Structure 1
Amino acid sequence: MIYGANGYTGELIAREAARRGLKPVLAGRRRESVEALARTLGLEARAFGLDDVTALTAQIQGHALVLNCAGPFSATAAPMMEACLRAGAHYLDITGEIAVFEHAQSLDARAREAGVVLCPGVGFDVIPTDCVASALKAALPDATHLALGFDSRSGFSPGTAKTSVEGLAQGGKVRRDGQIVTVSLAYEVRRIDFGDGEKDAMTIPWGDVSTAYHTTGIPNIQAFIPGSPRMIASARRANYVRPLLGLSWVQKLIKAHIARTVKGPSEEKREQMPTFVWGEATNARGEKKTARIRTANGYSLTITGSLAVVEHLMTARPTGGAHTPARLVGADLVTRLPGSGPLQIV
């Protein structure tokens, strides 16, 4: 089942799944749009919300897995994970939200007992960076610090934009001595060559602050994206209005504007915009290993990456529990996706 199939990314994944001959059930809250897409693709459609976990479990019962594409995942992941655990269905999603990854880890024992895989983050968030983290851990096993990041000029989908607004209100996040701590937005700025030339870059609260720790055990983790001086200054100014951004009516106002104005990048635009992914591991002696890989555009990678994990679960028999993409499928997952170059470590 693909839930949120009527959203920007969900529809892209559903269309590619149908092109491959897969027969997912398409689901979402909005009956009209889900059924219209299902008719076009010759697939079954279901419309239901996530408010009643018992009813949700009944909808999922009988499915091998659910791929949740309905963001923000702060609202959809927890009830869907619960329903999957009750129904015995594997759970995947395409989130990049730290809280969702940590929630999945908190359910690890239940998932193991149920034989259910919980693996959020099977899109661009966080397949490439998770694979880079895993490869760097293998290259420098005693690493104590890990920095990850990516250079992407792709536009936002509506769901990603709404998630970003929530993230601004929650501040920056880094992992320090094994614990996730809240820091200011653009907490650290440094020069980084992600693979397309050296640029100013700032820390962001990316999902790897959670997932890379569970993949590698490295206790200190930061995530970076490039930013112009103006962008970095704007992020730092946002620290002063974070309490305002956290107000529910402000969130609703901004998200309503996003829903009206943000459409997501076209296929032509996605094809013209590859992504450069970078990572750096450092040990206590100051020794470093640096990794880089060029991948497809983030949304294109989300399509192929999520379906690669779906197909892995449909053919393999993994141990139940909370997983990260690199632990579930392997650190070479990103290199096997269309548009990816080799993963180079120096």
Structure 2
Amino acid sequence: MTTWLLYGATGYTGKLIAQEAVRRGMSPVLAGRNKEKVQALAESLELDYRIFELGKDTAQHLKGIGLVLHCAGPFEQTSKPMIQACLEAEAHYLDITGEISVFNYTHSMHEEAQRKNVILCSGVGFDIIPTDCTALKLKQALPDATELSLGFDSDSGISPGTFKTMVQGLGGGNVIRQNGRLTPVPIGKHQRMIDFGRGKKSAMAIPWGDVATAYYTTAIPNITTWIPTPKLAAKAARLLNAAGPLLSTEKVKQLMLNLIDQRVAGPDKEERAATAAHIWGEAKNADGVVKTCRIDTANVYDLTVYGALEVTGRLLTSDFSGGSWTPAALFGPELLESLPGSGRFEIDSYYPLPTH
């Protein structure tokens, strides 16, 4: 059986994945930089482990490994050396990132991955399985769509790793896909009312990973991504645009990262169980036809565990063509419906009245 490695196993999400993997009878090799933490977790779960930092010799630590599930962020810093190591070791690469720059880099390695018959699939957690599958479902429902909007509503807590990724992105503004190109825009500029599944709410466009990946999945040229945001908060976000240069300084970021280490803990099992996520998408074509898609899923972090292990299991037991792929491009929109806690896609249509 193919041996697989879980890197970043002692982080909040990595530990959840390791525990659930063992519960399912899977036996990942745990890995990370901190020997004390990795060894303690591996021994408690009766798993093998490896200790190494990411760098030029990372591939040497992947001997005998057929797949790596990479869970050590911030991925903008850690993904490139791990992807390069996986290509060198000819091991499949998965991660749970939501960072646009990482998705773009992974996509840029498509041809090399094809040559080596290695699968690169970034975003096998809540970032981006639910929205990616929703995007493809809408593309199938409206093949000539020219505009795509995606978003989610959830009361999930936040883990230290996710919080740190957000801090690293401070000062960066928003990004949309416009006429096929990634386009920076001020945060808070785009607002609208959206019913994510719990009634209409004020929403704001954010730089979610789908502005990169949904284009690779669907080829729809105009894409925005949304979350519920009170109008007052969206106004405050616009004001923060002026503070972008200050927020993006390493001194300010490091101060916030230190505070996260001291004060932030991820949601516990009971909190996760009580907070489902509500996924929404909308596609529109040049004639004004609109298709809206909704689906409820498990909590953000639980879905990341389920999604990462589902993709890992499928790649370990089946053959797929090498290259850079999104989750939906590999497995279809039904991937999301197959995960624990997920409902079924529901699609509504709007057809504009004819003009005379």
Shared topology, TM-score over 0.5?
yes
- Per the TM alignment, residue 167 of structure 1 is displaced from its structure 2 partner at its CA by 2.2
1:16-53 Cα deviation digits (max 9, x unpaired): 00111111000111111111110110001111111x22
C-alpha distance in 2 between matches for 1:234 and 1:269: 28
Secondary structure, counterpart of 1:2 in structure 2:
strand
In the other structure, the counterpart of 2:169 is: 167
1:76 aligns with 2:81: no
More displaced stretch, 233-242 vs 313-322 = 233-242
Distance 1:164 1:236 in 2: 17
Aligned residue among 45, 48, 51 for 2:52: 48
Counterpart for residue 4 of structure 1: 8
Q: Secondary structure at the match of 2:292?
A: strand
Aligned equivalents of 1:92, 1:335: Cα separation in 2: 20
Aligned-partner residue type, residue 149 of structure 1: G
1:304 corresponds to which residue?
306
Q: Does 1:29 align with 2:33?
A: yes
- Partners of 1:312 and 1:240 lie apart in 2 by 46
Question: C-alpha deviations, 1:92-114, integer Å up to 9, x for none?
Answer: 00000000000001100100001
Aligned to 1:38: 42
Residues 1:157 and 2:176 aligned together: no
User: Which residue matches 1:101?
Assistant: 103
Q: Cα distance, 1:122 vs. partner?
A: 0.1
**Do 1:167 and 1:205's aligned partners in 2 also have CA atoms closer than 8 Å?**
no
- Contact 2:138 2:293 (8 Å CA) reproduced: yes
Counterpart in the other structure of 1:186: 188
Are the equivalent residues in 2 in contact too, given 1:312–1:329 (CA < 8 A)?
Answer: no
Amino acid at match of 1:179: R
1:295 alignment partner AA: T
Let me know the Cα RMSD of the aligned residues. 0.8
DSSP-derived class of the 1:318 partner = coil
SS of 2:147 mapped into structure 1:
strand
What letter is aligned with 1:18? Answer: V
Is contact 1:61–1:89 with CA below 8 Å preserved after alignment?
Answer: no
Q: In the TM superposition, what is the alpha-carbon distance from 1:194 to its structure 2 partner?
A: 0.3
In structure 1, distance between residues paired with 2:182 and 2:149: 14
2:137 corresponds in structure 1 to: 135
Please list, as runs of the form range in 1=range in 2, the aligned pairs for 1:266-277 lying within 5 A after superposition.
Answer: 266-277=268-279
Post-superposition shift, 1:125?
0.2
Any conservation in 2 of the 1:61–1:88 contact (CA below 8 Å)? no
- Structure 2 partner of 1:326: 328
Matched pairs, number: 344
1:115-160: per-residue Cα shift (whole Å, max 9, x none)? Answer: 1111000000000000000000000000000000000111111111
Residue identity matched to 2:154 = S
Q: Which residue of 1 aligns with 2:150?
A: 148
Maintained 8 Å contact 2:169/2:248:
no
CA contact (8 A) 1:73 1:100 kept: yes
- Tell me the secondary structure at the aligned position of residue 170 of structure 1: coil
1:168 deviates by 2.6
SS of structure 2 residue aligned to 1:256: helix
Q: Which runs of 5+ in 2 are unaligned?
A: 349-356
Distance, in Å, in 1 between the alignment partners of 2:234 and 2:228 is 9
SS in 2 for 1:333: helix
- The alpha carbon displacement at 1:60 in A equals 1.2
Q: 2:91 aligns with which of 78, 89, 92?
A: 89
**What is the Cα deviation at residue 13 of structure 1?**
0.3
